[in-house]
Amino acid sequence: MSVRDGSVVRLRRLPRRVAVLSLHTSPLEQPGTGDAGGMNVYITQTATRLARQGVAVEVFTRATSSDLPPVAELAPGVLVRHVTAGPYEVLAREELPAQLCQFTAGVLRAEARHEPGYYDLVHSHYWLSGQVGFLARDRWGVPLVHSAHTLAKVKNAALAEGDTPEPRLREIGEQQVVDEADQLIANTDVEAGQLVDLYGAPADKVHTVAPGVDLDLFRPGSQQEARQVLGIPADAIVLTFVGRIQPLKAPDVLLRAAAELLARGAVPRSRLVVPVVGGPSGTGLEAPTALQELAESLGIADVVRFMPPRRGAALRDVFVAADVVAVPSHNESFGLVALEAQACGTPVVAAAVGGLPVAVADGRSGLLVAGHRADTWASALVAALESRAKLAAGAVEHATGFSWDRTTDALVAGYADAASAFRRALFAAEVAV
């Protein structure tokens, strides 16, 4: 046994090379708009750390432009392969199942250029990639590890008003992947239970691995300096949303709560600033200006600031500048934004759904809210502002319990378990013959 990052890590044999499948979104894309979000961050961070441990990683994603190189380096030891599958353009997710055959052929061709055994393991992300993953697993004779990130049955049970339910095709596709995968990675014990209860996954095939946060990047800083960079007054009361603009993420809840705060006189209008940082995504693309129109109709367009998505130090400035970050999602498999904000010393007010009760320590690093009523959220935001100093200290302490190094170590241990189970199954099948 060995100890690293405060956790026990089993001694194990590292895979030499892992094929990571991310069909519908590339880790090279900017999180916060389109289909790019927490999954992109997850793949980037874990792939980079796997490479630092000596594991070569190749990420397969669909080429959305003819200008993209066939292969790009994400980081030393991490390659991104752009596979031609369908037109060179961004496609809606409902159009992507038609490109599965072409994408699978491209993935298999890449492996066929090498000697057999080139990849030791396949890790697929999201159900579309899982469909490709179990075909590659069968062709290459290696284990398939799958991360769902979101589940159709869970999303459909918690739809925002007016949002479009996930199609039956996706539910069937997810079930196929669950049945075929050698190991399923869940972000939280809640998600693990959903895989078992809703999809019939064997409990011993599901492993919980919490995502992490880049603690070197996201850290406390000078709120005054961050506000100066963003052009926000030093004495402002700043309530921030960061994420993709779509009904599922519910940025409208923050806007309605802000209007309620002003109606109550709980905060002076002259000081309130509500940054909304992100771009349209998912069903939000159908009405890309809906949030701006809502701000106008609520009479708060003067306090709301719409900003494009940001990354790196620019995103850190957004978190450091905020008094509170709101995460009002109707469903969230984990909630990386919540962790990143807390690591910067900013309390989070979040919906008590999905993995957010893990990402946010209620009453210690932030507050959890049941439901999405504007009056309830307004009260929670006031409570967070009143106890900000205590929550800010707890936010940093809570976030330091999560790191991408710990996540990657747990993934590697899971890879070793999957490889051992795969070899045992092969041996049992040979003996049976």
Looking up residue 240, the CATH number of its domain turns out to be 3.40.50.2000
* Span 66-82, pLDDT tens digits: 999 999 999 999 999 99
Q: What is the extent of the structural domain holding 369?
A: 223-401
* Span 340-355, pLDDT tens digits: 999 999 999 999 999 9
Residue 15 labelled as part of a binding site: no
CA distance linking residue 21 with residue 119, whole number of Å: 12
Using CA atoms, how far residue 188 sits from 97, 209, 320, 397, in Å, is 28, 7, 27, 19
- 10: in domain: no
The closest of 384, 230, 224 to 318, measured between CA atoms, is: 230
- 7: in domain: no
Lowest pLDDT segment from 25-29, 179-183, 232-236: 25-29
* Span 97-114, pLDDT tens digits: 999 999 999 999 999 999
Residue 243 labelled as part of a binding site: no
Residue written as tokens 């669909």?
62
Residue 46 labelled as part of a binding site: no
Residue 204 labelled as part of a binding site: no
Examine the domain organization and report whether 44 and 77 are in the same domain: yes
Residue 249 labelled as part of a binding site: yes
Looking at residues 280-293, what average pLDDT do you find? 75
Examine the domain organization and report whether 106 and 238 are in the same domain: no
Examine the domain organization and report whether 277 and 142 are in the same domain: no
Residue 36 labelled as part of a binding site: yes
CA distance linking residue 255 with residue 87, whole number of Å: 38
Residue 104 labelled as part of a binding site: no
- 422: in domain: yes
Examine the domain organization and report whether 241 and 101 are in the same domain: no
Residue 126 labelled as part of a binding site: yes
Above 60 in pLDDT, residue 12?
A: no
Question: What total of structural domains would you count in the chain?
Answer: 2
Examine the domain organization and report whether 243 and 183 are in the same domain: no
Task: Tell me which DSSP letter residue 79 carries.
Answer: E
Examine the domain organization and report whether 63 and 141 are in the same domain: yes
Lowest pLDDT segment from 28-37, 168-177, 323-332, 347-356: 28-37
Residue 424 labelled as part of a binding site: no
Residue 264 labelled as part of a binding site: no
Examine the domain organization and report whether 424 and 345 are in the same domain: no
**Helices marked H in 336-403 — which ranges?**
336-343, 356-359, 374-386, 388-399
Examine the domain organization and report whether 295 and 397 are in the same domain: yes
**pLDDT category, 37, cuts 50, 70, 90?**
confident
